[in-house]
Amino acid sequence: MKSKGVFWGVILFSIGVLFFLKNIDVIWFSWRAFFTMWPVLLVVLGVSLLPVKEFIRIILAFVIIILTIIFVANNPRFQENDRWPWYWNWHNDRYSDRNWNDEDEEETDEWNDQQLFESFDSSINNAVLDLDAVAGEFTIDETGEFLVKFNRQGNMGKYYLEADNAGSAVVLKLSMGNRTIHSKNVSNKATISLNPKPVWDLKIDAGAAKIDFDLSPFKVDRIDIDGGASSVEIKLGDKHDNTDVSIETGASSVKFEIPESVGCEVRTSTFLTSKNLDGFTKTSDGIYQTEGFSSSAKKITIKLDAAISSLEVKRY
């Protein structure tokens, strides 16, 4: 057997054991923390190419994996409310070793049907929606009564809506007050209704969420999505002259629907990404354009910076 086969066999075996222990609740880790550490795969790949003996490469790979787990468990970036995203569960009481109070437990584990809204003012011309999606399923539809309306069902914390007005512009922040996930059996489904009159900017921290946005009725100036392991589906319209989309993800599936009446450019900086760009021509490395993009009256620009993803852009 080739030495590289032994190396990757051991690595895959270790990962398989990790997932098996998670599935039987011996250990637990959040998918957000796991996929945020995807660059470790590149480090392990580099170790496999080092011109040293096989057993040294295996030892180095194990050390890297162990150090990564220790780093995640002790890095404040992944800790919320004194909870580690990794824990060992050797006891019958799954939560006995965690330092939570009853109030936090009730807030996270109880089912919450929420409705939040901000009234519409005809003087508002521009609106920014800053969404802390965290995890779950999120959709967008239209409302004429409110500036924004948020309907959500689930048992994963509570959301809060803040509005900051500055003349004819308003910044809306939808954030979760307690981002702690106490168990793997969580549900978080939300519908966000937007008013079509203002020009919208969307800033989304997708985490490990499923994003399914039909934005065709809206004037969208910019979309920024920062996701870990996400599924993103966005339908854009032709209500605005120029729309800029920027997506940074770890491991994601990204799909767009673009109207044929709008010129579109796709810029990709990706690793191991499958692309389905029907109707696009490659103009240079990582850049794809529809016919007549430069002279189009209305344009959509999509920038994708991803690790392991699939990208599909359809015209309608």
pLDDT at 267: 93
pLDDT at 192: 96
In the block, tokens 């993800």 appear at 249
pLDDT at 107: 44
What is the bridge-based pairing of β-strands 199-215 and 231-236? parallel
pLDDT at 163: 94
pLDDT at position 266 over 50: yes
pLDDT at 94: 37
| DSSP 3-state of 283 | strand
pLDDT single digits (tens) 199-215: 999 999 887 788 999 99
What is the bridge-based pairing of β-strands 112-119 and 146-154? antiparallel
Which one has a higher pLDDT value, 269 or 83? 269
pTM of structure: 0.66
DSSP state of 49: T
**Confidence at 123, pLDDT banded by 50, 70, 90:** very high
Which one has a higher pLDDT value, 40 or 2? 40
Q: Which helix (H) or strand (E) holds 106?
A: helix 102-109
pLDDT single digits (tens) 240-257: 999 999 998 876 789 999
Q: Judge contact between 270 and 235, C-beta under 8 A.
A: no
pLDDT at position 124 over 50: yes
Longest Cα–Cα distance in the chain: 72
Which one has a higher pLDDT value, 80 or 312? 312
pLDDT at position 34 over 90: no
pLDDT at position 56 over 60: yes
Q: Judge contact between 238 and 260, C-beta under 8 A.
A: no
Average pLDDT, the chain: 78
Dist CA 161 CA 88 (whole Å): 35
Dist CA 81 CA 59 (whole Å): 35
What one-character-per-residue DSSP string does 140-159 give?
A: EEE-SSEEEEEEEEESS--E
